Amino acid sequence: MAGPNLEVFKFAVYVFFPVAMMLHYGDPDWYRRHVLTYKDHVFPPDERLVTSLPTDPNALREELAKIRARKAERRAEKARNEDNANGNEHTV
């Protein structure tokens, strides 16, 4: 076998590698630079979160109508942008 020097080296790696990773990734400046900026891209802003869900059927239908209208508006805007990008400008 390799002897006690290898065991000492392995022990040092097992102990100091997690400590080094904790020091590097646990730094508040690193967290602020890399995690908080990416968080804005992944999670929606607080004002877009729905915290009160509709409970009666009429309110649910109204909310679904609003969602469908927003979706149709986005779809039409995307189609307009694609037409403009392709050079097929249509006047509406």
Cβ atoms of 54 and 63 within 8 Å: the answer is yes
Instruction: Kindly tell me the number of DSSP H helices and DSSP E strands found in the chain.
Output: 4, 0
Q: What is the pLDDT of residues 15-67, one digit of tens each?
A: 999 999 999 999 999 999 988 888 878 888 878 777 888 889 999 999 899 99
pLDDT-based confidence at residue 73 (cuts at 50, 70, 90): very high
Q: Which two tokens stand for residue 92?
A: 């509406």
Cβ atoms of 24 and 30 within 8 Å: the answer is yes
What pLDDT, on the 0 to 100 scale, is given for residue 37?
86
What pLDDT, on the 0 to 100 scale, is given for residue 15?
96
Euclidean distance between CA atoms 18 and 92, whole angstroms: 62
Q: Return the ∠ at Cα 14 (arms to 12 and 15), rounded to 5°.
A: 65
